[in-house]
Structure 1
Amino acid sequence: MKWVAVGFALLLNTAHASPGCFDNWFCISTTKQQNTKLANIRLQDNLPVVVTVSSSAMTPSEITLSLQNTESQTLGQITSPHQFWHTMQVSWTAGTLNARHDDAFAYRYPVANGKNSIVQGFNGSYSHQGASRYAIDFAVPVGTEVVAARSGKVIDVEASFDRGGPAKKYARYANYVVILHDDGTTGEYYHLQKDGVLVKRGDSVVQGQPIAKSGNTGFSSLPHLHFGVYKALPNGNFQSVKFAFDDSLSD
């Protein structure tokens, strides 16, 4: 959910078919209007993302935008396109900026018998600290059906990895589904089975709908599902928020 790119020649997670496009999320371009050189940004799809762009060749030197639609927006004036591309730093997080969570909402357990499958909760000492302090881990066998804990729109998925282990070096290999809720937060489901995602970006899902199969990919010491609710912040950061399950909605 968090990505960073530094310099045009060192772009990470980019869609190489279009120069200046980042991981199928957004494209950055430069234009000249009435002797003024500008840097611009535009979403590729109507999937919200929070982007922070900085460059010593841009005024302002850093800007954070919460992109919601495909209309082009101006990042700032630039002194030189060449210098801009080679000093540019970009970070982004899926979602909307500083969303306000609906604390009254009742979440459904994302796996059957969820209450009895919890092996790590809020403030868990193993990995639920800092930005992910409000998350829940469910110990379930690989291939367990995962359902949407809350209705929303699928804005990001990954299902290609087949690696995992009890070390942070494996974190980049987690398969996941990210669902945008109507209050701007995201429900995120991690460590899914390779090729186990049942939805695609742009799909609308309802609470209780099957969305994936659980796995053991990424930073994972045993087969489990990691679920959390997050809000996007500037500079590619994010923060988990408190939420509550409704036992009456469980299987």
Structure 2
Amino acid sequence: MRSFSLCFFLLISTAQANPSCFDNWFCVSTAKENNHGAATIQLQDHLPVVVTVSSPAMDPSEVTLSLSDTRPRALGRVTSLERYWSTMEVSWTAGTLNPQHNDNFAYRYPVQNGRHKIVQGFNGQYSHQGASKYAIDFAVPVGTQVVAARGGKVIDLEASFDRGGPARKYARYANYVVILHDDGTTGEYYHLQKNGVLVNRGERVKQGQPIAKSGNTGFSSLPHLHFGVYKALPHGNFQSIKFNFEEMPSN
């Protein structure tokens, strides 16, 4: 699901300034050292993210790091600064690498009234396959209050879009909130109303706290809330995790 908005593969040109910053989240920079150079990466805030950086002009040619603090981290030795900046590829996704999900945790319904109809559950044939195998879609009217199914820290969000439709070309226009849990997994809430996010990046929220208003943005055939629990993987990838509500809703 997060690939709609949170997975990016960028080609950096030599015309760009050094360092280059991505989504106001982290910056990659290089420094000349003798006859070669060195590449580093640094978070702009304490918002965890898993980043993969690759270039044939870097040794090693590919590095994946799980970043959670603002100290600079080494990426590798650079054989040619010009070639590095013209070939570098970066992909990332919110969260931490290799989290250990607490399977005993009971999640709260992500809508104030948990009795809303489920239009797609685990293994749903419409779009809940592969990376989003374990996700649930609640049919809710636009503007329905969305609450945190589990407490944690808000590490990413989008609230500016006002487009949606039943085709994948609309996927990039989904509004969402991503909350990092204390076990390193993320709770993710999608298709939110434009300007309907009620929290800020870096804010800590409690289970049951209002965080947004539902909408119909992104790849969406009807007003609904998509909720899933995810773990971050290298190369901007992610995988949903099976979870349990306090009381599993019925279809």
**1:199 Cα deviation after fit:** 0.3
Please say if 1:239 is aligned against 2:239: yes
SS at match of 2:100: coil
> What CA RMSD, in Å, does the superposition of the two structures yield over aligned residues?
1.9
Runs of 4+ in 1 over 3 A off after TM superposition: 16-19, 33-36
Matching of residues 146-185 of structure 1 within 5 Å: 146-185=146-185
Matching of residues 12-91 of structure 1 within 5 Å: 19-33=19-33, 35-91=35-91
Contact 2:162 2:173 in 1 (8 A): yes
**1:117 Cα deviation after fit:** 2.0
SS at match of 1:82: helix
Residue 94 of structure 2 corresponds to 94
Runs of 5+ consecutive residues of structure 1 not aligned to the other structure: none
Question: How many pairs were matched up?
Answer: 245
Contact 2:10 2:89 in 1 (8 A): yes
**1:19 Cα deviation after fit:** 4.5
Residue 7 of structure 2 corresponds to 3
Contact 1:4 1:89 in 2 (8 A): no
- Alpha-carbon distance between aligned partners in 1 of 2:17 and 2:38, rounded to the nearest angstrom: 23
Q: Quote the sequence identity (%).
A: 73
Deviations 1:184-240 (A, max 9, x none): 000000000000000010000000000000000000000000000000000000000
Deviations 1:96-130 (A, max 9, x none): 00111100000000113324421110000111000
Contact 1:54 1:88 in 2 (8 A): yes
Residue 217 of structure 1 corresponds to 217
Answer with 109-118 or 182-191: which moved more: 109-118
- Alpha-carbon distance between aligned partners in 1 of 2:17 and 2:241, rounded to the nearest angstrom: 37
SS at match of 2:13: helix
Contact 1:6 1:87 in 2 (8 A): no
Runs of 5+ consecutive residues of structure 2 not aligned to the other structure: none
- Alpha-carbon distance between aligned partners in 2 of 1:203 and 1:27, rounded to the nearest angstrom: 22
TM-score, length-scaled by structure 2? 0.93
Q: Which amino acid aligns with 2:168?
A: K
SS at match of 1:4: coil
